[in-house]
Amino acid sequence: MKRLLSGMQPTGSGRLHLGNYEGALKPWIALQGKYEMYCFIADWHALTTMAGSTDSIADQSREVALDYLSAGLDPSQVAIFRQSAVPQHAELAVLLGMLTPVSWLERVPTYKEKREHVERQEGGSDASVSFGLLGYPVLQAADILLYRAHVVPVGKDQAAHLELTREIARRFNHLYATDVFPEPQALIQEMTGTLPGLDADSEGKLRKMSKSYGNCIYMTDSEDDVAARLKGAFTTPTKMRKTDPGIPEGCSVCLLRKLYDADNYTTQWDECRSGERGCVQSKRETTEIVNAMLEPIRERRKLYSSDPAELDRLLKDGAERASAMAEATMQIVRETMKFL
Ligand code: ADP
Ligand code: TRP
């Protein structure tokens, strides 16, 4: 069986939203049984933005694990674990860092964006752009190559990191005349594209659902939470009354309806456009549809969160399975680099 690896950072509250579910978790779940799977929680990566506040990382990591499980990842088929529980990630990152030119890292778009963000916050100083932030893709390459993964399902924003991982793998294989590392393929999720959030930017355009915009429906939201969030959601600004014409393509509620009611949404869209249906009704109906979709996720979450010791056991078991693979790779790497 070919191997698959992917992961998410436990930043924010650690709770995942419908964008994470559609863009990442669902594709992973669809591949269960087809690959030997490793789905981890990138808690060391989270330090690139929260090195000074590590108190909450353990709890946030557990939240992510609970979201993985409640989405339907099956711990008997998938090793679910925290990156920090498998220290070989750090060992391989150190070694790979030695053969990665800084110029490759400075070109990475996510680094450039984050650096500009930090510089803005610091009033123009780049003093707090850490070595770890620049090295983020090296650690990510180590995450992937440690399991000699063949495929890595990720969102579009991760494409550059995957390309760099492939370059690092090629360089390692070339330098040591080996074929230890297969070049991992990115499986980019294009199907649903990016899930829009519940708000709009200053120009009235929808933007992606993201925890940093606070425009999310979370997988852990209760029925009432979903109702309240959709009540405040961005619709057609010029549709003040039911009879005003709506523009469903630019409305967060109509787009969610399309996603979760793919067979029947056209009536709602037509009636929104023609002024036969108002936003209040559309929001109420979409709330019911989203709540019905979340119901099995809530049930599984209740089950797993009722037994914290069981969650610990699952994470420990996942880390043991991951460690076996990680150590096997490191033995080969140490041997190849003459560090036995
Ligand atoms: P956030 O923007 O909320 O911080 P992350 O960047 O941590 O989310 O994303 C984790 C994973 O979820 C990535 O694979 C990313 O591509 C996917 N993802 C995040 N937001 C969305 C979205 N709105 N639609 C689809 N996929 C998303
Ligand atoms: N950088 C990824 C993100 O922000 C998280 C991540 C870390 C990852 N290591 C990985 C994803 C390895 C896939 C494979 O979403």
**Domain locations along the chain:** 3-154+156-189+308-336, 196-300
Give residue 127's pLDDT: 62
Specify the DSSP element, H or E, that contains 159: helix 159-175
- Structure confidence at residue 114 (pLDDT): 84
Ligand 2 atom nearest residue 9's Cα: 5
Supply the pTM of this predicted model: 0.94
**CA 334 to centroid of ligand 1, rounded, Å:** 35
**What are the pocket residues of ligand 2 if the criterion is a CB atom closer than 6 Å to any ligand atom?**
5-9, 42, 45, 140, 143-144, 152, 154, 158, 161
Ligand closest to Cα of 218 equals 1
Mutate to test the pocket of ligand 1, among 20, 140, 192 (most ligand atoms within 8 A of CB): 20
Residue with tokens 């030695």: 98
Is 68 in contact with 297 (CB distance < 8 Å)? Answer: no
Q: Which CATH superfamily is domain 196-300 in?
A: Tyrosyl-Transfer RNA Synthetase (1.10.240.10)
Q: Could you give the CA distance from residue 107 to residue 129 in angstroms, rounded to a whole number?
A: 15
Output the pLDDT for position 77: 97
Rg of the chain over Cα atoms, rounded to whole angstroms, equals 22
**Is 15 close to ligand 1, i.e. is its CB under 6 Å away?**
no
Ligand 2 nearest-atom number relative to CA 140: 9
CA separation for the pair 153, 28 (Å, rounded):
7
Residue numbers in the chain where pLDDT is lower than 70? 122-127, 190-192
Which H/E stretch holds residue 118? Answer: helix 109-121
Q: Which CATH superfamily is domain 3-154+156-189+308-336 in?
A: HUPs (3.40.50.620)
Same fold yes or no, 3-154+156-189+308-336 and 196-300: no
Going from the Cα of 225 to the center of ligand 2, the distance in angstroms, rounded, reads: 29
Ligand nearest to the CA of 42: 2
Is residue 187 in contact with ligand 1, taking CB distance under 6 Å?
no
Strand order in the sheet with 36-41: 78-82, 36-41, 3-8, 151-154, 185-188
Q: Which ligand number lies closest to the CA of residue 110?
A: 2
**Mapping DSSP to helix (H, G, I), strand (E, B) and coil, where does residue 36 land?**
strand
Q: How far is the CA of 158 from the centre of ligand 2 (A)?
A: 7
What 8-state DSSP symbol labels residue 195? P
Kindly give, in sequence order, each residue whose CB lies less than 8 Å from that of residue 30, ignoring residues fewer than 6 positions away: none
Q: What is the pLDDT of residue 194?
A: 84
